[in-house]
Amino acid sequence: MHNLPGMVGAARPCEDASLTAMRLRVLTDLMADLHAIDRASWLAYPLHGEPVLYVRDGGGERRLAVLGVQDAGGGWSYCWDGGRTASVDGTMRAAHQIAAATR
C-alpha cells in the first residue's frame, strides 16, 4: 500500500483533497455497514491528518483503527489490526471481518 494517510505538515498538493474525499467515502460506507450489524464506530478527522474509523469491541474495552488505503494500482482497501486488509468492493464482508477481529 503506497498511499497511507498523510503526514502532519504544511500545505498539501491538490490531488490529496480527492484522496481524502475518497478515504472519507469508503470509511463512511464501512461505518454504515458496521452499524447495520450492531457494531459501534466513530470517525476521527484530525485537523492536520487523514480520517480514521475507530471500531469498539463488543465489551467496549478495545478499539480498533481502520484506515482507507489506496494500493499502487489505484484500488482501495480497508486496513486494520496490523496489516489485515479487505477490498472496499465488499464493504459488508469487511464489516463482518472487522467485527470478528474486535470480539
For 14-63, how does the pLDDT look when each residue is reduced to its tens digit (9 = 90+)?
A: 458 899 999 999 999 999 999 999 999 999 999 888 999 999 877 777 78
Name which residue leads in pLDDT, 60 or 11: 60
Residue 4 lies in a domain: no
Under 8 Å CB-to-CB from 74, ≥6 apart: which residues? none
Q: Does residue 79 register a pLDDT over 60?
A: yes
50 in a structural domain = yes
Q: Structural domain tally of the chain?
A: 1
Judge whether 7 lies within some domain: no
Per-residue confidence (pLDDT) for residue 33, from 0 to 100: 98
Is 76 domain-assigned?
A: yes
Domain that holds residue 26: 14-101
Residue 6 maps to a domain: no
